[in-house]
């Protein structure tokens, strides 16, 4: 297989698998490895997910974590947020390969007659399709190193075909061009006051039974494992001790690439692939904290049962705080089941509030109450997607006299003031998957507004994921009462930014600025929000 003179023989592959338990950080590990290599090689990350959804777009964030939206409109696994932030790449939707996509392709091909005369089976047809799509992406992108993460845990029935496919890939790629990295968890038993290696040993043996032998074993634990413990693991898992890497829980995941560098991971990769050079990472100096500058930021949402539900917002806040040199405390508040009297007392002690995106009725009135309180009490506010829509509803109700204002998403029938309504192109849409207004869109910023001052540009490009918009039938009455529509589509039809003048910071945006944040390039809107929060707290 070759595309534009780029063939399989030009590729190097790093395959990342996980064992013992899920959610131990394969995506962050993969992104960190990518950060070690990005200065010298073109790295393309691919995430393989075993679920049968075509993509995570219809999944509840509490169940699976946030949906990360790409510029090309792809709704992909949240790990792509780590890849983009750590590696500085703009990922594409076909870089997220789900078993749902594989099965759909095979069934479509079967119906069209591609397999005439054959019995279609998981092996070789499903595994061949997996390899075909993996190689197609890597060759089209002219990747020098493909970084392939297999979701889930070794032994899960959902990822069996991905595991088998990558086993077969070793037959097609020379041994010095493919590297298997296995991430495991080392539990600490408090009763005996010792770490236990047996779960990791069993995980590696299970991987061996499937025909895969790790070139590097990464062990996550509460504290760094000593040389003797690593030698024990190496002995039982068939590795040299220097290829057993110990990583610990870090306060800031952005430090993981530097931690891996200190553990010699660059050297292990360099030796495996016989690379001539890898540029070593140098830690960037963190700005000194301003005196007594601990900011307390509240994210008031409803998917608070899983912190990963708002992963990109949390990271964007950390990036901005790092740039400003301020301390940061992030609190998640569930607007579905908290008493407003208690919440208002808590909000008085916060530096700023973010109302994030979301769907459905649950928690909506609580969010509107929060917006009402912070608008009147001059607490810095950033509303994102649904957060902007609810800010419009709150303003319509409590300032513009439209007391029964609401969104048609929340109240479907007999709504007197539908100040937020379904996008016209969405009214004929029946399917739920991949049908929203998605991906990168241009935003026109009005002159003499705060948002224009923040970005210092007339047009910016941001990422969107929504079905509802501000109803233009009500914009004049809202503007007449002081609401500023400071950003829109280029034709002015879809209102995409709102703000207030007589407030320390009150901005709502229909787009998701958090998706573009990088550790070395914080989002201007988050920087401005934290600066206003800091100033407001000091005052």
- For the chain, first and last CA: distance in Å? 64
How far is Cα 126 from Cα 158, in angstroms, rounded to an integer? Answer: 13
Token output for 189: 């038993």
How far is Cα 480 from Cα 469, in angstroms, rounded to an integer? Answer: 19
Q: What are phi and psi of 354, to 5 degrees?
A: -115, 130
Q: Are 148 and 166 in contact (CB under 8 A)?
A: yes
Considering Cα of 404, then 405, then 408, then 410, what sign does the dihedral take?
A: negative
Q: Catalytic residue at 144? A: no
Partners of 63 in the β-ladder: none
Q: Which of 82, 182, 372, 512 is catalytic?
A: 512
Closest by CA to 215, choosing from 252, 178, 253, is: 178
Q: Are 273 and 40 in contact (CB under 8 A)?
A: no
Helix and strand numbers (H, E) in the chain are 17, 25
Q: 142 in helix, strand or coil?
A: coil
Partners of 44 in the β-ladder: 146
Q: Are 510 and 495 in contact (CB under 8 A)?
A: yes
Query: Which residue spans within 395-532 are E strands per DSSP?
Result: 405-407, 417-422, 437-445, 459-466, 468-470, 484-488, 495-499, 506-509
Q: Are 203 and 38 in contact (CB under 8 A)?
A: no
For the chain, how big is the Rg over CA atoms in Å? 25
Q: Catalytic residue at 125? A: no
Q: Are 419 and 475 in contact (CB under 8 A)?
A: no
Closest by CA to 18, choosing from 162, 232, 225, 195, is: 162
Q: Are 496 and 511 in contact (CB under 8 A)?
A: yes
Q: Are 185 and 197 in contact (CB under 8 A)?
A: no
Token output for 114: 């591609």
How far is Cα 359 from Cα 340, in angstroms, rounded to an integer? Answer: 21
How far is Cα 119 from Cα 103, in angstroms, rounded to an integer? Answer: 15
Q: Which of 319, 385, 462, 503 is catalytic?
A: 385
How far is Cα 247 from Cα 222, in angstroms, rounded to an integer? Answer: 8
How far is Cα 283 from Cα 261, in angstroms, rounded to an integer? Answer: 10
> DSSP alpha helices (H): ranges in 173-264?
198-209, 227-237, 256-262
Closest by CA to 156, choosing from 282, 18, 8, is: 18
Token output for 297: 């930021």
Q: Catalytic residue at 129? A: no
How far is Cα 486 from Cα 496, in angstroms, rounded to an integer? Answer: 8
Token output for 418: 């539908």
What are the residue numbers of the active site?
385, 512, 514
């Amino acid at each position: 297989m070759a595309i534009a003179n780029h063939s399989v023989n030009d590729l190097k592959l790093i395959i990342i698998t996980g064992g013992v338990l899920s959610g131990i950080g394969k995506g962050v590990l993969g992104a960190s490895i990518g950060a070690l290599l990005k200065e010298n090689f073109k790295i393309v990350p691919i995430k393989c997910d075993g679920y049968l959804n075509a993509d995570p777009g219809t999944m509840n964030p509490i169940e699976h974590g946030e949906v990360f939206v790409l510029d090309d409109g792809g709704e992909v696994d949240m790990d792509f947020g780590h890849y983009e932030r750590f590696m500085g790449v703009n990922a594409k939707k076909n870089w997220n390969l789900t078993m749902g996509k594989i099965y759909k392709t095979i069934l479509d091909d079967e119906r069209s007659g591609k397999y005439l005369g054959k019995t279609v089976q998981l092996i070789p047809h499903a595994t061949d399709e997996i390899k075909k799509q993996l190689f197609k992406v890597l060759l089209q992108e002219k990747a020098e190193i493909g970084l392939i993460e297999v979701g889930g845990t070794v032994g899960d029935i959902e990822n069996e075909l991905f595991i088998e496919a990558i086993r077969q890939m070793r037959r097609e790629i020379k041994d010095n061009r493919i590297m298997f990295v296995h991430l495991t968890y080392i539990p600490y038993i408090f009763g005996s006051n010792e770490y236990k290696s047996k779960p990791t040993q069993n995980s590696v043996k299970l991987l061996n039974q499937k025909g895969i032998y790790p070139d590097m074993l990464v062990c996550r634990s509460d504290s760094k494992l000593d040389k003797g413990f690593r030698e024990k693991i190496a002995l039982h898992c068939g590795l040299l001790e220097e290829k057993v890497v110990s990583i610990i829980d870090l306060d800031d995941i952005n430090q993981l690439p530097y931690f891996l560098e200190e553990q010699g991971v660059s050297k292990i990769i360099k030796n495996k692939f016989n690379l001539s050079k890898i540029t070593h990472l140098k830690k960037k100096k963190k700005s000194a904290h301003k005196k007594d500058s601990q900011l307390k930021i509240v994210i008031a949402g409803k998917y608070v049962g899983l912190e990963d539900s708002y992963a990109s917002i949390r990271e964007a806040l950390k990036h901005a705080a790092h740039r400003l040199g301020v301390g940061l405390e992030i609190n998640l508040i569930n607007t579905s089941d908290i008493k407003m009297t208690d919440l208002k007392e808590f909000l008085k002690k916060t530096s700023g509030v973010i109302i994030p995106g979301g769907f459905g009725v649950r928690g909506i009135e609580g969010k509107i109450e929060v917006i009402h309180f912070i608008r009147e009490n001059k607490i810095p506010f950033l509303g994102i997607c649904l957060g902007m829509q609810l800010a419009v509803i709150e303003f319509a109700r409590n300032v513009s006299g439209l007391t029964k204002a609401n969104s048609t998403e929340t109240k479907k029938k007999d709504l007197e003031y539908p100040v937020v309504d379904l996008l016209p192109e969405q009214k004929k849409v029946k399917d739920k998957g991949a049908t929203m207004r998605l991906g990168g869109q241009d935003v026109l910023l009005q002159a003499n507004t705060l948002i224009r001052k923040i970005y210092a540009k007339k047009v910016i490009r941001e990422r969107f994921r929504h079905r509802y918009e501000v109803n233009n039938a009500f914009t004049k009455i809202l503007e007449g009462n002081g609401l500023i529509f400071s950003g829109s589509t280029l034709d002015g039809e879809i209102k995409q930014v709102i703000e207030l003048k007589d407030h320390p910071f009150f901005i709502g945006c229909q787009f998701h600025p958090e998706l573009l944040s990088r550790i070395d390039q914080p989002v201007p809107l988050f920087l401005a929000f934290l600066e206003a929060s800091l100033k407001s707290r000091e005052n």
